Structure 1
Amino acid sequence: SNLKVKADEISLAIKSVTDKFTRVNEEFTAIRARVTQLESQLENASFIDAQALTDRKNQIVAEKTSVSAKSRDIAARVSANTLALANIRRQSAELIKHEEHYRWMKALSDTANGRISQREKLMLETYIQKTYFDNIIRKANLRLLMMTGGQYELVRRETGYNQGAQSGLDLDVKDHYNGTLRSVKTLSGGESFKASLSLALGLSDEIQSSAGGVRLDTMFVDEGFGSLDEDSLNQAMNALMGLTEGNRLVGIISHVAELKQRIDKQIIVTKDKSGGSSVKLQT
């Protein structure tokens, strides 16, 4: 019985070894077949240069490093440009505001200085002068109409004689006898004197009416009477005599003989042979 047991054990051991051998042999066969397959593939494969691959790898790494550096540089430039853009936009907004203010100020300046195109060239100073000048002309015309028998009336010209210059202070004269309007430069000597005297009297009237109680108590008229005919002289004297009302002193400086007969109080200045002058008071 002991032999039988040992025989069974030996039989089992042999079977185990046989099975293991069979498995190992099968695995060997499979591996050999795989080796054969790989060898077949290697026969058709191209040669791989390991050094070339290493060199290519190093090149790619260098390119990556360069691209990274450029990327960082571009990022820095983008950041700087973003700040610059924000600054430009802020300054642009300020510039627009200043430009609008400049345009407003320039328009005001052009208006005040009479520099607006296709408009009357009238400076602010001239505009103020024109306003007072109109008042003077209105008062002067009261005198001129009386001195010319209702013939002449002064009219301020809206446009200057020179179209490119400042305008608004030139004068025309309206002739009520023939209905014409012409330049004061066309007036004769006597007529010009009447117009000048009327303006002087108009200025005097305007100063007194707008100066808050200021009075012009004394006025001197120098020459011009010699250019007047008899009727014109009478009209001018009547206007001047009207000014003496209210204790106003009107002095006339003239060589016209007829005035000596009309004026009682005189200061007569006579030139001496020695080159000097003598003064005589006649009352």
Structure 2
Amino acid sequence: AVAAEAERLHQQRQHHLTATAATARRLADLTAEHQQHAEFALTPLGAAGLAAQLAALSAADDILQQKLGAASNQLAQDDTARERLAEGHRELQARQREEQRWQDLAEQIGSAKGDKFSQFAQGLTLSHLARLANLRLQQLTGRYTILKTPNRNLELQIIDHDQADTVRPMASLSGGESFLVSLALALGLSELAGYKARIESLFIDEGFGTLDPDSLNTALDALERLQHSGKMIGIISHVADLKERIGTQIRVQPGAGGNSTVRVVDVVGTETECCA
């Protein structure tokens, strides 16, 4: 029994020595690690100091998070303000364009006496008259086109297609050319004036004497087409060649003492004296 007890104590002593050696090695490792940390000098603070510093950093972080939230709100408000500013800028541009439109209109037709508006309205009417007259002018001659002078409300010009579409003033037309253009304008004016009231009659006083034979035939052909459309055409002229083209005539023959003889000639050539 004594031998068994001695053996047990011997084994217990060996275990104790082994544990002591392991503890010594662990202590050496921790001492070396502690020495290494001390050499790095990461912090001079102890555990209590580090805990206090961690608490202060946490509090500072909370404050920074609050500031970050406030900055985010400010950024959101800034985005909203920028959107409102952009919308206001677009609205301002739209109003400026509208203002410019009215300003341009005022420059064109605005005046204290109303004369600008009157000229502007007359210019629109003249443009419409030119379009109507050109339809008739094409029937008379294909050489010319009537043009309202740009930036001039009450002025007309002529485009000469036989001269590479040269724009000419009305005053440059010859007598025959002027008659054809005037006739086209008169016909256009009759259509313009007849917008609400039908004009059945058109009287032309002189002007045929300035036409050459071809221009005279062209003008009479146009008048005959106009007559066939239902209008009554009256021509006052001293041109003898017109007698062959006009069916019904009223001939005035001057007599002695300032008296005149008036005869009506119908389409078959029968003359009837009306008065003396």
TM-score (norm 2): 0.55
Q: Do residues 223 (structure 1) and 220 (structure 2) align?
A: no
Equivalence for 2:193: 207
Shift of 1:126: 1.2
SS at match of 2:153: coil
Unaligned runs of 5+ in 2: 1-102, 267-276
Equivalence for 1:181: 167
Q: Do residues 124 (structure 1) and 110 (structure 2) align?
A: no
SS at match of 1:255: coil
Equivalence for 1:95: none
Structure 2 counterpart of 1:138, from 128, 131, 135:
131
Show structure 1 runs of 4+ deviating over 4 A: 106-111
Larger radius of gyration: 1
Higher relative contact order (CA 8 A, sep 6+): 1
2:108–2:120 Cα contact (<8 Å) kept: no
> Counterparts of 1:183 and 1:114 in 2: how far apart (Å)?
29
Residue deviations 1:99-142 (CA, integer Å, cap 9, x gap): xxxxxxx9987653569xxxxxx811111111111111111111
Structure 2 counterpart of 1:238, from 221, 238, 244:
221
Q: Do residues 251 (structure 1) and 234 (structure 2) align?
A: yes
Q: Do residues 151 (structure 1) and 119 (structure 2) align?
A: no
TM-score (norm 1): 0.53
Unaligned runs of 5+ in 1: 1-105, 116-121, 160-166
Shift of 1:185: 0.6
> Counterparts of 2:233 and 2:154 in 1: how far apart (Å)?
28
Structure 1 counterpart of 2:156, from 153, 171, 196:
171
> Counterparts of 1:276 and 1:184 in 2: how far apart (Å)?
40
- Counting matched residue pairs gives 162
SS at match of 1:274: helix
Identity of aligned residues (%): 41
Equivalence for 2:63: none
Give the RMSD, CA atoms, in angstroms. Answer: 2.3
Shift of 1:206: 1.7
> Counterparts of 1:243 and 1:175 in 2: how far apart (Å)?
25
- Superposed, which structure 2 residues align to 1:37-116 within 5 Å? 111-112=108-109
> Counterparts of 1:250 and 1:108 in 2: how far apart (Å)?
42
